[in-house]
């Protein structure tokens, strides 16, 4: 199988030839008081993220320069070693991000459902989660995309969607299941998995858990790429926080219209949320986009998604997925109560290639 055309920075990070974005963020010094008003903290973040961008730009430029030399491996090794000689800041921009999201839980707007409940006081919104995060499993996953495996996947419980065909419905509908997360202990496990060959840490269904993801990343000591494996329905505020933390957005683009999203996932304003989030991710990180083809939904979903991606975020890895099977409550919906036909699979490939997608994985 040919190597992906894009995800170049990610591949360099997982090969320890470049620093993960979170390792850059933790080297940006920011003085702040956690008791400051939330808007004051956000203003500090807006100013500090500019310093992060300058440092990242200079580091990426140095890496590109290194590639121009014959002794590429030696140059990149020296470049990476020199970066890690820069001391971590205390407090850092990463600390500020943790503080902001922690405060957001008091009036939760982590996703675009914007329940505005106090999760720290035990109140529950659509996801039925408090400020306690749990995970159903963590392991070295060999079934992800080739460029990700072995992937250290951490499956969080709970979800902000209610997909009638969810293949992980036993996890997504049971937020109280699983093991309570201790960020420090899980971070140490991430470091150990990295030593055992993990190419990344892959946070699955992280949308209602950004506070926990940030705390885990802050405690990590390894240079591990961070994968945000999500439905991309996080809020604009969270999108801004994820800059400088997430290396690759493993984002699901499920629907090409709002009607299907509301019918099958109970989600309003789907495109108005997901499209800007993909665009922001495109500007600040790299994207491996997943589109699960639904039976009978090529014209209303697959086609408009492919056309939008080709126009707005063309330089991404596009995984066209044919793994759909009727799960959970899918049989209650006639159009979802069957597998894809071979003709539908062939047509989907033609649609995506016809749209001009350059880096296609089937």
Residue 1 lies in a domain: no
Residue 84 lies in a domain: yes
Residue 59 lies in a domain: yes
Residue 293 lies in a domain: yes
Residue 137 lies in a domain: yes
What is the pTM assigned to this prediction? 0.95
Give the DSSP H/E element, type plus range, for residue 284.
helix 270-284
Residue 261 lies in a domain: yes
Residue 2 lies in a domain: no
Binned at pLDDT 50, 70 and 90, residue 238 comes out as very high
Burial of 85 (0-12, 13-18, 19+ CB in 10 A): exposed
Q: Give the count of domains, the chain.
A: 1
Residue-wise pLDDT tens digits, 181-199: 999 999 999 999 999 999 9
Residue-wise pLDDT tens digits, 265-289: 999 999 999 999 999 999 999 999 9
Domain region containing 299: 8-361
Return all residues near 85 (Cβ < 8 A) that are at least 6 apart.
Answer: none
Could you tell me if 135 and 183 are in contact, meaning their C-beta atoms sit under 8 angstroms apart?
no
DSSP summary character for residue 299: I
Tell the residue number behind the tokens 């956690």, with chain if given: 34
Residue 75 lies in a domain: yes
Q: What is the CATH number of the domain that holds 169?
A: 3.20.20.70
Length of the chain (residues): 362
Residues 334, 338, 344, 349, CA torsion sign? positive
């Amino acid at each position: 199988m040919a190597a992906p055309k894009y995800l170049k920075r990610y591949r360099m990070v997982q090969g320890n030839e470049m620093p993960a974005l979170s390792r850059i963020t933790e080297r940006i010094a920011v003085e702040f008081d956690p008791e400051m008003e939330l808007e004051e903290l956000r203003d500090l973040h807006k100013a500090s993220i500019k310093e992060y961008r300058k440092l990242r730009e200079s580091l990426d430029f140095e890496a590109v320069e290194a590639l121009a030399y014959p002794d590429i491996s030696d140059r990149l090794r020296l470049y990476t070693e020199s970066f890690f000689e820069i001391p971590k800041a205390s407090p850092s921009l990463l600390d500020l991000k943790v503080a902001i999201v922690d405060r957001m839980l008091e009036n939760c707007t982590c996703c675009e459902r914007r329940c505005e409940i106090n999760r720290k006081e035990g109140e529950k919104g659509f996801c039925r989660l408090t400020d306690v995060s749990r995970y159903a499993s963590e392991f070295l996953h060999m079934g992800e995309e080739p460029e990700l495996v072995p992937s250290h996947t951490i499956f969080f419980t709970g979800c902000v969607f209610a997909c009638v065909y969810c293949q992980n419905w036993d996890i997504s509908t049971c937020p109280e299941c699983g093991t309570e997360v201790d960020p420090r202990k899980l971070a140490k496990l991430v470091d150990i998995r990295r030593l055992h060959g993990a190419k990344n840490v892959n946070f699955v269904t992280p949308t209602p858990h950004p506070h926990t993801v940030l705390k885990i990343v802050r405690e990590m000591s390894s240079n591990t790429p961070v994968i945000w494996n999500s439905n991309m329905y996080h809020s604009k505020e969270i999108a801004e926080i994820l800059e400088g933390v997430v290396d690759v957005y493993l984002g699901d683009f499920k629907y090409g219209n709002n009607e299907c999203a509301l019918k099958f996932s109970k989600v309003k304003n789907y495109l108005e949320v997901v499209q800007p989030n993909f665009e922001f991710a495109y500007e600040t990180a790299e994207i491996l986009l997943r589109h699960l083809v639904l039976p009978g939904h090529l014209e209303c979903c697959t086609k408009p998604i492919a056309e939008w991606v080709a126009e707005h975020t063309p330089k991404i890895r596009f995984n066209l997925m044919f793994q759909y099977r009727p799960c959970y409550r899918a049989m209650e919906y006639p159009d979802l109560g069957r597998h894809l036909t071979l003709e539908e699979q062939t047509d989907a490939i033609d649609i995506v290639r016809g749209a001009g997608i350059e880096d296609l994985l089937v």
